[in-house]
Homo-oligomer: A and B are copies of this chain.
């Protein structure tokens, strides 16, 4: 129920066209989002130009194509994540206008121009094995309308390579730091900059890495104050959080 519909209902009551009983009835039943709490549905129907997001893992090619077909009609931009090469290729064959990024595991269908706004989102990763997660973060941040820069292979065991990138670090508005193994990079970067740092543990590593648990615990226990953490391999979530931060002072 839109404010206009509510106004119309009250008008009819005022004018006697609708009885008070039926007004009570209708008002008590209306869905909550109808009474002006606009943000309640924000994550489903995003603002003009923002993408619809589909989590691709665990869905079949057929399901994904059906969802994409339905969504595409709205003219919105669409981002599908966690696609393997078979599903991604199938989607691309069906929607040649879309772009499948095999490294990121993402499929993007851009139907409305995306204008990058806000500060730069810098995505740093420790090793080349962390690249898929970094790419997922980069694609997501771009689809959400953020300027993105990537910095790869700057792990803590070769700390000078990171320190040599002082300017790049200083120019970022938000930094996403992606690391597997011991997950120490966010602590070092968190100590070098004063902007928000979002840490993403990856499942890279073996033995006692326990599928990313070591990196996750390391990041949660970061000695650098103010580092926050998302789930293992969750490049999408980190970029989504970075976008929230980047939109912070813009409303």
Contact = CB atoms under 8 A, between A and B. Distances in A.
Interface of A: 1-3, 5-7, 10-11, 13-14, 16, 20, 23-24, 27-37, 39-44, 53, 55, 57-59, 118-119, 126-129, 155-161, 163-164, 166-167, 170, 173-174, 180-184, 187-188, 190-198, 201, 203-234, 236-238, 240-241, 243-250
Contacts of A35: 1-3, 5-6, 27-28, 30-31
A180 B187 CA distance: 13
A214 B238 CA distance: 19
B222 A174 contact: no
A27 B5 CA distance: 12
Given A182-B221, A232-B206, A37 B163 contact: yes
A229 to B, nearest CB: 5
A241 B166 CA distance: 21
7 contacts: A3-B36, A5-B35, A33-B166, A41-B160, A184-B187, A214-B217, A215-B218
Interface centre among A7, A59, A196 (most CB of B within 10 A): A196
A228 B198 contact: yes
B34 A30 contact: yes
Given A13-B14, A33-B163, A159-B159, A207 B232 contact: yes
Contacts of A226: 237, 240-241, 243-244
Given A7-B24, A16-B14, A20-B7, A208 B231 contact: yes
B39 A170 contact: yes
B20 A11 contact: yes
Contacts of A27: 6, 10, 27, 35-36
A217 B208 contact: yes
Contacts of A30: 34-35
Contacts of A246: 248
Contact of A157 (B13, B191, B212, B243): B191
Nearest to A33: B166
B233 A164 contact: no
Given A157-B190, A194-B42, A174 B248 contact: yes
Interface centre among A23, A28, A170, A180 (most CB of B within 10 A): A28
